[in-house]
Amino acid sequence: MRCSARTLSRQTGLQTSPAFGNVTRGSWRLPGSHARRLERSDVIAFRPRRATSSLDPVPLPTRLTDRFGLEHPVVLAPMAFAAGGRLAAAVSDAGGLGFVGGGYGNKDWIDAQLEIADPSTVGVGFITWSVARTPELLDDILGHQPRAIFLSFGDPRELAPRIKKAGTPLFCQVQSREDAEVAIEAGADVIVAQGSEAGGHGDTRGTFTLVPEIADLLAASSPETLLCAAGGIADGRGLAAALVLGADGVLVGSRLWATPEATVSNAMHAAALASTGDATIRTSVADIVRELDWPERFTARVLRNRFTDTWHGDEAQLRNADPAVGRDWLEGWADGDPERSNTFTGEAVGLIHTIEPTGAVLEQMSSQATRLLRRSG
């Protein structure tokens, strides 16, 4: 595919698109055959949390909350395009750990997000294979002294020494046990075991077996390394299950993507609310159309639509398709249009029924998990 608009897929264009508003008020007509009216009651009223004091007990204390001084063992996934400074700050303000989605590495955009969110309270995430091409960007960002750096999708061993030298905690997201061994060698402080249910890019292992397998590996060979579970965790049931499987906390993408603080268009939020967990697919077509050089093992989980129905399984044809195909997708993406481009979200979409503020999501997740864990003794 020849498409001159490659750069359109970079963060800047998207973040400034007026289409990326938020579904927060009133009621909206949802598109598609499963459309239902989004009522005012879908948007749960949220009162800001009272300020915590040293006397407030942490509801779910874990090694992760201890080490990072958190109130909830919940980490925001560094979602490219969707997790800007506003969302990252909201998660950290609510007692979790926010990450700005540095994605493919646009320095100006990341700098702007770190103006919005105080870098001493939020981390920055990168797509490893992409930032490895411009390691000086990593040095620039380390100069902001972020709370942590998050690397995913590729071997972190070459970049890790820069991060360790800066004294910055390193999170490595992995998709297999073998990846976890590499992350231990890199000196990861936190390993995030990402199952295939996850939204966005990932691989084939499922969360339910990957997390305890890596928990066993860490217990045996690197007990100081913390573990987070990722992929399909959208409520207190997922959080409680992850802790029972041996994780110290969870990394949440899709559920926090569905908040007013995320940089996501109303139309994509509406498409997600109208979908069930059956509606996603792991595919490469959204990368091929953007001419992104993703390693073959990683596909992206997105909502199925006409574009994936047309091209998934026909990737060679897509690579040689008329440039108009790529232009249409990229214009749709810039407009936040779930029909012409793709909505990146995970199987957890079937558990998401509201667009509501980040603080409320964290409170509900944590309190439901606490209740469930108490009940099970």
Ligand X SMILES: Cc1cc2nc3c(=O)[nH]c(=O)nc-3n(C[C@H](O)[C@H](O)[C@H](O)COP(=O)(O)O)c2cc1C
Q: Which residues bind ligand X (CB under 6 A)?
A: 77-80, 82, 101, 103, 125, 127, 152, 173, 194, 197-201, 230-233, 251-254, 257, 344-346, 348
Least separation in angstroms between residue 252's CB and ligand X is 5
Least separation in angstroms between residue 152's CB and ligand X is 3
CB-wise, 163 or 321, nearer to ligand X? 163
Nearer of residues 94 and 321 to ligand X, judged by Cβ: 94
Give a three-class secondary structure readout of the chain: CCCCCHHHHCHHHHHHCCCCCCCCCCCEECCCCCCCEECHHHCCCCCCCCCCCCCCCCCCCCHHHHHHCCCCCEEECCCCCCCCHHHHHHHHHCCCEEEEECCCCCHHHHHHHHHHCCCCCEEEEEEHHHHCCCHHHHHHHHCCCCCCEEEECCCCCCCHHHHHHCCCCEEEEECCHHHHHHHHHHCCCEEEEECCCCCEEECCCCHHHHHHHHHHHHHHHCCCCEEEEECCCCCHHHHHHHHHCCCCEEEECHHHHCCCCCCCCHHHHHHHHCCCHHHEEEECHHHHCCCCCCCCCCEEEEECCHHHHHHCCCHHHHHCCCHHHHHHHHHHHHCCCCCCCCCECCHHHHHCCCCCCHHHHHHHHHHHHHHHHHHCC
Q: How far is the CB of 73 from ligand X (least distance, A)?
A: 14
**Which residue's CB atom is positioned nearest to ligand X?**
253
Q: How far is the CB of 239 from ligand X (least distance, A)?
A: 11
Closer residue to ligand X (CB): 103 or 321: 103
| C-alpha span between 38 and 156 (Å, rounded) | 43
CB of 50 to ligand X, least distance (A): 28
Cβ of residue 177: shortest distance to ligand X, in angstroms?
A: 17
Minimum distance, C-beta of residue 377 to ligand X, in the bound complex (Å): 28
Which C-beta is closer to ligand X: that of 124 or that of 215? 124
User: What are the angstrom distances between the C-alpha of 50 and each of 62, 120, 212?
Assistant: 22, 21, 35
Closest separation in Å from C-beta 284 to ligand X: 15
